[in-house]
Amino acid sequence: MIPSNEFKNHLGPLAEKLTEEQIENLRQLEDKLADLFFDSWLKNINADNHVDLSGKDDNMSVCQESTA
């Protein structure tokens, strides 16, 4: 999460027109949106690369069978 004073700097002149509570609400909303975008991106990357996050390693059992 971006520190409050840095977030205010990014808002520029708009920060002067908002209350501290409004600024904090915007900062929290931005953080939630960033999390959503990151989760969506990660899901797409994993789907494209066929990454199995289930914890099962089916390839390992195939390797063990072929060496037996």
Q: First and final CA of the chain: distance in angstroms? A: 51
Quote the pLDDT of residue 46: 86
The pLDDT of 5-32, averaged and rounded, is: 95
How much of the chain, in percent, has pLDDT values that exceed 70? 72
The first and second tokens of residue 28, run together, are 């929290």
* Per-residue pLDDT tens digits for 20-40: 999 999 999 999 999 999 999
- Burial class of 20 by CB neighbour count within 10 A (0 to 12, 13 to 18, 19+): exposed
